[in-house]
Amino acid sequence: MKNVLGIFVLIFFFSFSLQAQQKKEKKWSLDGYISYMNSNMFDSISNAWSIDNQLHNRLNFEWFPNDKFSFVTQLRTRFIYGNSILVIPGYADMIEQETGYLNMNKNVLSEKNFLLNMNVDRLYFKYSTGNWDMQIGRQRINWARTMVWNPNDIFNTYSYFDFDYMEKPGSDAFRLQYYTGAAASLEIAASINHEARATVAAKWLINKWNYDFQFIAGEMEQRDYIAGFGWAGAIKSLAFRGEATYFHPINSKDTMREESFSGTFSLDYTFGNSLNLMGQVLYTTISKDNPISNFATFYTTNLNAKYLSFTEWNLFASAMYPITPLLNITFAGMYYPKINGFFLNPSFDYSLSDNLTFSFVYQYFKGEFPNPLTGLNQKQQFSFAFLRIKQDF
C-alpha cells in the first residue's frame, strides 16, 4: 500500500486538469483553505513551553459528470515543525497513524524537527437515483445527534478537542440509503479499519411529533454488538437532542472485554441577540477495556463510540456570542465530578477580510488521578494555547 497515496494524489490533479479543459459546462468544483497555526503547550506559564508550528492546506475536489454520479476526493497536507517532534517519542508515527483500511496517510518527509504529512481523508464515489443513494470509498458516516459526545457515531468518532480538524475523520466504507419520506430513511453501512476489522450496522430514521428519531443496530469492529437510539427536536424554542448506545462483547469468553453503555443529551437556546447557550451531559460505563485513563490519553487517543471518556459522569456547557459581525467569542467548559477535574476553553474568531480569519483558542485541563504505583491521587494540569490565521478559497 506504499504507493496508494501518491496514486490518488496523481488522480486528483489529473482529474482536475481534464475538467479544466471543458469550457462549455463546468462539471467539477474545487475549494479549500490554507492556514498557519502556532501551538504552545505548558503545565504552568512559568515553566518551559513546548512550541510547535503548522502550515495546513486542504483541497476539496468534486467531479459530477451527470446528475446521478459524482466523485469526491479531499487532500489534507500539513507541514509541522517544532519541539514536539524532537522530544515526544513516536510523535511522527502518531501523526502518520492510519485508522482506515487503505494506507492513505503518509509522512512524505520526516526529520528531527519537522515533518510533511499528506492524508487523503475523503475518496469516494456516489450514485443517486430516485430514493436511493449509494457511496463507496473513504467517507464520513455521521450518525451523531449531539455536538460533543456521540455514542451513536460508531464509524468515525471525533474528538471535541481537535478543533483544527473541522471536517473530522472518515472511514473506508460502503453506504446504502433509501429515503422513505422527506425526513425518513433506511440505511445500511459497513466499514473496515486498519486492523482489517469490520463495523456493520443499520439505521432507521423516522420523524414523529416534530422529532427525528433514529434506531441503530449492528456490530462494531467485530468486537461488540451494538444497539442504539437517538433523537433531535425541540421543547418549545429550546433545542433538545440526545443519543445512547449499548455495547455487548461478541466473544463472551474474552475476559478483557466488558459490556458498557453510553448515553447523552443536550439542550441549547439562541436568544434574539444571537447569544447561544448549550449544555450537555454524558454518562458512560468505564469498562476495563477502556484505554483512556487520564487527560493525556484522552487528548491523544483515537476515540471510538465505546470509549468517550475516563470518568462516568461528564458535564459540558458553552456560551457563544457575536460581539460584532466580525468578532465572535466562545467560552466552553467540562466538569468531571469523580476526579474533581475540569476543562476550560475560551476562544475568539475575528474576520480580517473576506475569507480571512484570525483565531485564538485556549484549552486548560486540571484534575486528580489515582497513581497506580502509590495508590494516592496525583494532580495533572495542562495548558494549550493556539494562534491561527486561516484563508478560505
Identify the band that residue 22 occupies on the pLDDT scale cut at 50, 70 and 90.
Answer: very low
pLDDT for 245-269, tens place per residue?
Answer: 999 999 988 888 899 999 999 999 9
Q: What is the CA radius of gyration of the chain?
A: 22
Let me know if domain 4-117+230-392 sits in CATH 1.10.287.
Answer: no
Does the pLDDT at position 63 exceed 60? yes
Mean pLDDT of all residues in 104-133:
96
Does the pLDDT at position 15 exceed 60? no
Q: What percent of the chain has pLDDT over 70?
A: 93
Given a contact cutoff of 8 angstroms between Cβ atoms, the answer to whether 204 and 213 are in contact is no
Q: Which has the closest alpha carbon to 136: 221, 195, 70, 194?
A: 70
Given a contact cutoff of 8 angstroms between Cβ atoms, the answer to whether 310 and 297 are in contact is yes
Does the pLDDT at position 292 exceed 90? no
Domain regions of the chain by residue span: 4-117+230-392
365 compared with 290, residue with greater pLDDT = 365
pLDDT value at residue 296? 74
Mean pLDDT of all residues in 59-71:
96
pLDDT value at residue 67? 92
List alpha helices for the chain, DSSP H: 4-20, 83-87, 91-96, 295-300
Mean pLDDT of all residues in 313-321:
98
Query: Which 3-state string (H, E, C) describes 97-138?
Result: CCCECCCCEEEEEECCCEEEEEEEEEEEEEEEECCEEEEEEE
Strands 313-322 vs 377-392: parallel, antiparallel or unpaired: unpaired
Given a contact cutoff of 8 angstroms between Cβ atoms, the answer to whether 391 and 34 are in contact is yes
pLDDT value at residue 391? 97
Output the nine-digit C-alpha cell for 46.
512559568
Q: Rounded mean pLDDT of the chain? A: 91
pLDDT value at residue 24? 55
pLDDT for 188-240, tens place per residue?
Answer: 999 999 999 999 999 999 999 999 999 999 999 999 999 999 999 999 999 99
pLDDT value at residue 10? 53
Does the pLDDT at position 368 exceed 90? no
